[in-house]
Amino acid sequence: MSPFWNAWVWTITLVVILGCTLLLLATRRSEPHKEATEETLGHTFDGIEEYDNPLPSWWFQMFVGTVIFAVAYLGLYGLANVKGFYGWSSVGQYEEEMAHAEEVYKPVFAKYASLSIEDLQGKPDGLKIGQRMFANNCAVCHGGTGAGAHGFPNLTDNDWLYGGAPATIQQTITEGRQGAMPAWGPVLGEEGVRDVTSYILSLSGAEHDADMAARGQQQFQALCTACHGADGKGTQALGAPNLTDNTWLYGGSFEQISHTIRTGRNGVMPAHKALLSDDKIKLIAAYVYSLSNK
Ligand code: HEC
Ligand code: HEC
């Protein structure tokens, strides 16, 4: 925390404690009677009058108690940049718990640390741990079973954007990936987008207009082969998908494909190296590998 915010927190806390104390003493001092009295304050509400009595002492002492409690609490636990008697801090508590978890779980991961992703395929217990970590870290995007969704690739088939070798999967998880499909609307124009869409449909044998597809093929050869390959089978080094199969990341209808071509796509797979240790990433990678290599 910056010095300003430390001072801010301290100022507010001290002003509140001091203010409560002064208010308490001031009302105590202004009381005309120190003992119970029959005298009233002189006003009536619907015939109800109010005695001019001092605060009951248990009530007063309760307020004094809260002030003492606050000061004692500050002394024991500290505030902002000042540590209290116990030396407690929320960061310290977090680190202590993490260190404890590390100590408890380290042997569990160490058991698998020396094994390769291929070797781990024969270790159901290790895959089970990978599966649980997948559920915690990956299922929000790739689904509980890894089957994916619109824009989130299916990890259970053998169709890969970036490749399904153990080391490639491991790298995808560690470093993340960013798909870069440019928007072609401005280059092709609306008619061009429809022609190329027809050609893409023809690649996987889907229903299409042959004339449009023939025109689209020329555009495809000029603009798209650098990434998707002359045959449209894709380039894993670029994450450019195979367009000749019937697996679609963003949908295979005329509308969906033309939308992809018109506006481009930029799927982001977040890097996990800052979130998970290498040993954990390896166990998750082993689980992902097992999904399509039964
Ligand atoms: C925020 C959503 C999100 C999370 C969380 C996420 N992913 Fe991904 N992942 C994606 C997207 C989107 C892609 C596709 C990237 C692209 O389009 O280029 C992807 C791609 C992949 C790929 C490459 C698939 C291929 O066909 O080559 C693998 C493997 C993968 N993710 C595994 C994981 C694992 C394991 C985790 C958990 C540690 C995870 N992902 C967490 C969104 C996510
Ligand atoms: C700079 C490389 C590059 C070029 C050039 C390129 N693409 Fe792509 N394309 C990609 C990448 C990468 C993806 C995956 C995007 C993602 O993962 O978010 C993609 C995705 C697609 C998809 C979606 C596939 C699916 O499974 O949903 C279609 C369709 C497509 N491209 C068609 C084309 C067409 C048609 C052209 C030429 C007009 C073209 N691309 C040019 C890199 C490229």
* Best CA proximity match to 262, nearest among 203, 196, 211, 175: 196
Residues of the chain with pLDDT under 50: none
Does residue 243 line the site of ligand 2, with CB under 6 A?
A: yes
Q: Of all atoms in ligand 2, which is nearest to the CA of residue 252?
A: 27
* Cα atoms in the Cβ-side hemisphere of radius 13 Å centred on 242: 14
Nearest protein Cα to ligand 2, atom 7:
181
Count the Cβ atoms, other than its own, within 10 Å of residue 214: 13
- The CA R_g of the chain, rounded to the nearest whole Å, is 35
CA distance 191 to 52: 91
Centroid of ligand 2 to alpha carbon of 239 (angstroms):
9
> Rounded to an integer, what distance in angstroms lies between the CA atom of residue 31 and that of residue 48?
21
Q: Is the CB of 240 under 6 A from ligand 1?
A: no
Distances (CA, A) of 97 to 15, 88, 159: 34, 13, 41
Q: Is the CB of 269 under 6 A from ligand 1?
A: yes
Name the residue type at position 9. V
User: Does ligand 2 come within 6 angstroms of the Cβ of 223?
Assistant: yes
Residue of minimum CA distance from atom 19 in ligand 1? 269
Cβ atoms of 273 and 170 within 8 Å: the answer is: no
Ligand 1 atom closest to Cα of 151?
12
**Among protein residues, the one whose CA lies closest to atom 43 of ligand 1:** 269
Q: Which residues contact 230 (CB under 8 A, 6 or more apart)?
A: 221
Kindly state if the Cβ of 167 falls inside 6 Å of ligand 1: no
d(CA 149, CA 251): 10
Distance between CA atoms of residues 263 and 150, nearest Å: 16
CA distances from 240 to 71, 148, 226, 230, 232 (A): 64, 17, 10, 12, 9
Max Cα separation, the chain?
Answer: 107
User: 257 C-alpha to center of ligand 2: Å?
Assistant: 10
Ligand 1 atom nearest to CA at 266: 17
Q: How far is the CA of 271 from the centre of ligand 2 (A)?
A: 22
pLDDT, tens digit, 9 for 90 and up, residues 25-73: 888 877 777 777 788 888 889 989 888 888 888 988 999 999 999 999 9
Pocket test for ligand 1, best of 132, 137, 141, 162 (most atoms within 8 A of CB): 141
- Determine whether the shortest distance from the Cβ of 138 to ligand 1 is under 6 A: yes
Q: How many CA atoms lie within 13 A of 201 on its CB side?
A: 23
For ligand 1, whether the C-beta of 141 sits within 6 Å is: yes
Separation of alpha carbons 31 and 252, rounded Å: 84
